[in-house]
Amino acid sequence: MKGCVYPVWNTIFPYLLSGISVGGQYALIAIGYTMVYGILRLINFAHGDVFMVAGILMVYISASGLPLFLSIPLVLLVTSLIGYLIERIAYKPLRQAPRMSVMISAIGVSYTLQNLVLYITGGLNQLYPTIPWISSSITIGSATTKIVTVITPFLTIALVVGLVLLINNTKIGMAMRAVSKDFETSQLMGININRVISVTFVIGSFLAGVGSLLYFSNYTTVIQTSGAMPGLKAFVAAVFGGIGSIPGAVIGAFIIGIAENIIKGLDIILFKAGLIAKPLGLATFSDAFTFALLIIILVVKPTGLFGEKTTDKV
């Protein structure tokens, strides 16, 4: 029996590893959703597209011949700036408007970004530049993968820890927590809420930019719709973890990333374990699983794993 367990583990391990990595990438996107929701009660539908634009930026900036140590910070800087500008142009003027208007504006921004990229790229797949070292192969146990897969979860955790420290221990973090509860009283404390909201968008976009570096180093091509699926998955992760909660979004993202990748390899895993005689084509269901999970969580526990129980803000 024992001889049977190891090959199965060896089959599972590569899927688990890439699941953890994808989970980390989703987490970096999901934080942007959850932070913006926490403060504005807005689902920022353009967030996945900001992630995609960061990928396109990297393609064009590195094509210009800029060395990596400059192009990566530049991509992150411009991505943060785009996040800031989106909020200023498309959301801030609607601060007093009903929440639905802001959401529709977000959908508008999403399509604007996609079409802008379509116009620039001509709708062709753009080859993502190879970042040396992190794109090279590495073998761990039974898995051969890119180094980026291995460093993603560590980088994600480090960034999340940094973010949580920022929110819990700095003045701007305290202001963010206050604004997320009560705009008006925050203003009475002298807090410039627009500045706090801008900072939130900058942080969210910056993390999406880091996520895009990791994600596209793995998937190698970018197209104008590249942000849609990861964005949607990250959104599900944020809802699953309890939208508004940063640890929730991160845990939700890791769970979804792992589950999705295990399902992709489920046929082979079950076959190796001797449970099925021929492949069942279960890999097809990996995306469906994520969205089924969304439905289940909304029905069973709408506030997610760590969501606030409090009623909606007036």
Q: Is 185 in the site for another protein (CB under 8 A)?
A: yes
Q: Which two tokens stand for residue 67?
A: 């060395």
Q: How many CB atoms lie within 10 A of CB 164?
A: 14
Query: Applying CB under 8 A, which of residues 177, 259, 276, 285 lies at the interface with another protein?
Result: 177
Cα pseudo-dihedral 64, 66, 69, 71, rounded to 10 = -30
Query: Applying CB under 8 A, which of residues 190, 281, 311, 314 lies at the interface with another protein?
Result: 190
Residues from 267 through 306 that contact another protein (CB under 8 A): none
Look at residues 121, 130, 136, 125 and name the one whose alpha carbon lies nearest to residue 221: 125
Q: How far is the CB of 282 from another protein (least distance, A)?
A: 43
Residue pair 193/186 in contact by the 8 Å Cβ criterion: yes
Residue pair 24/155 in contact by the 8 Å Cβ criterion: yes
Query: Applying CB under 8 A, which of residues 10, 85, 158, 182 lies at the interface with another protein?
Result: 182
DSSP codes, 188-224? HTT--HHHHHHHHHHHHHHHHHHHHHHHHHHH-EE-T
C-alpha–C-alpha distance, residues 50 and 234, integer Å: 13
Q: Is 171 in the site for another protein (CB under 8 A)?
A: yes
Which part of the chain contacts another protein (CB under 8 A), choosing from 29-37, 118-126, 140-148, 176-184? Answer: 176-184
Q: How far is the CB of 65 from another protein (least distance, A)?
A: 45
Q: How far is the CB of 88 from another protein (least distance, A)?
A: 16
Q: How far is the CB of 111 from another protein (least distance, A)?
A: 32
C-alpha–C-alpha distance, residues 283 and 298, integer Å: 24
Q: Is 313 in the site for another protein (CB under 8 A)?
A: no
Q: How far is the CB of 29 from another protein (least distance, A)?
A: 25
Which part of the chain contacts another protein (CB under 8 A), choosing from 171-179, 200-208, 232-240, 299-307? Answer: 171-179
Q: Is 140 in the site for another protein (CB under 8 A)?
A: no
What is the number of H-type helices and E-type strands within the chain?
A: 12, 4
Residue pair 167/34 in contact by the 8 Å Cβ criterion: no
Residues from 192 through 221 that contact another protein (CB under 8 A): 192
Query: Applying CB under 8 A, which of residues 81, 189, 288, 292 lies at the interface with another protein?
Result: 189
Q: How far is the CB of 36 from another protein (least distance, A)?
A: 17
Q: Is 43 helix (H, G, I), strand (E, B) or coil?
A: coil
177 or 272: whose CB is closer to another protein? Answer: 177
Q: Please give the size of the binding site for another protein, defined by CB under 8 A.
A: 16
Q: Which two tokens stand for residue 185?
A: 């009283």
Query: Applying CB under 8 A, which of residues 68, 77, 166, 178 lies at the interface with another protein?
Result: 178
Give the burial string for 196-235 (b: 16+ CB within 10 Å, else e). bbbbbbbbbbbbbbbbbbbbbbbeeebbbebbbebbbbbb
**Rule CB under 8 A: which residues touch another protein?**
171, 174-175, 177-178, 180-182, 184-185, 187-192
